[in-house]
Amino acid sequence: MKFTLRPMRLEDIPHVGSLEQKLFPVDAWPLELFFDEFAQTETRQYLVVEVDGAVVGYCGVMVVGATADIQTIGVLPGFEGQGIGTAMLTEMLSEARRRGARETLLEVREDNPRARRLYERFGFEHIHTRRGYYRDGVSACVMRLIFEESKEAAHEPR
Ligand SMILES: CC(C)(COP(=O)(O)OP(=O)(O)OC[C@H]1O[C@@H](n2cnc3c(N)ncnc32)[C@H](O)[C@@H]1OP(=O)(O)O)[C@@H](O)C(=O)NCCC(=O)NCCS
């Protein structure tokens, strides 16, 4: 299956909002939040993935100072397990680096092993648990990836 990763456009948002309802039934972002996030181009980058001209995945990263946050990532069921999540995360981490981040944080549901595995494969480590963080009472794992060059820089003499 061939897929294309490209920046999100304003006109993608209504469709992305409907994917969001399917992917995150418990705490889907309202459409206004996507518009609001999308507009903050100085600190955000949102991407979509297309297959045969249809958007099947989306993601966004925020970078403020030295810290990036994965804001959201999702792939439509039926298109999972084919490398789309990996491609989106790879691109968001590259963007975070380009924007000067030294680390990236994210939150993931404790009961979402698939997403956690994806993040662990990239080297994210579970650093904290937010008890009952989600609306249905499930806890969030806060995960962090420190970029290698930052670890090296931290050991360099000043
Ligand atoms: C988590 C999520 C984004 C992962 O996206 P994905 O496109 O399925 O991710 P990938 O395909 O890159 O990787 C998933 C698995 O497919 C495997 N895979 C990757 N490329 C592959 C390929 N070309 N062929 C076969 N398998 C492949 C990976 O090894 C991985 O295996 P694992 O789960 O055993 O570790 C997706 O499952 C999703 O949207 N879930 C619902 C929403 C959600 O939970 N989002 C995260 C919120 S924090």
Q: How many residues does the chain have?
A: 158
- Per-residue pLDDT tens over the stretch 27-42: 899 999 999 999 999 9
> How would DSSP label each residue in 1-20?
---EEEE--GGGHHHHHHHH
Residue 50 a catalytic site member: no
In the predicted model, what is the mean pLDDT of residues 40-58?
97
In the predicted model, what is the mean pLDDT of residues 94-123?
97
Residue ranges of alpha helices (H) inside the chain are 13-23, 31-39, 84-98, 113-121, 148-155
Q: Are 56 and 49 in contact (CB under 8 A)?
A: yes
In the predicted model, what is the mean pLDDT of residues 10-22?
97
pLDDT value of position 59 = 98
Which residues neighbour 45 within 8 Å (Cβ) at sequence distance 6 or greater?
A: 7, 60, 61, 63, 92, 95
118 C-beta closer than 6 A to ligand 1: yes
Kindly indicate whether the domain formed by 4-155 is annotated with CATH number 3.40.630.30.
yes
Q: Are 143 and 125 in contact (CB under 8 A)?
A: yes
Residue 58 a catalytic site member: no
Q: In this prediction, what percent of the chain has a pLDDT beyond 90?
A: 91
Active-site hit among 103, 107, 110, 120: 107
**Separate counts of helices (H) and strands (E) for the chain:** 5, 7
Cα 156 to middle of ligand 1, angstroms: 36
pLDDT value of position 26 = 86
In the predicted model, what is the mean pLDDT of residues 57-77?
98
In the predicted model, what is the mean pLDDT of residues 107-115?
96
Rounded to the nearest integer, the mean pLDDT of the chain is: 95
Q: Say if residue 156's pLDDT is above 80.
A: no
In the predicted model, what is the mean pLDDT of residues 94-104?
98
94 C-beta closer than 6 A to ligand 1: no
Atom of ligand 1 nearest to the CA of 87: 12
pLDDT value of position 155 = 64
* Domain edges within the chain: 4-155
Q: Say if residue 143's pLDDT is above 80.
A: yes
pLDDT value of position 132 = 96
Q: Say if residue 158's pLDDT is above 60.
A: no
Q: Say if residue 150's pLDDT is above 80.
A: no
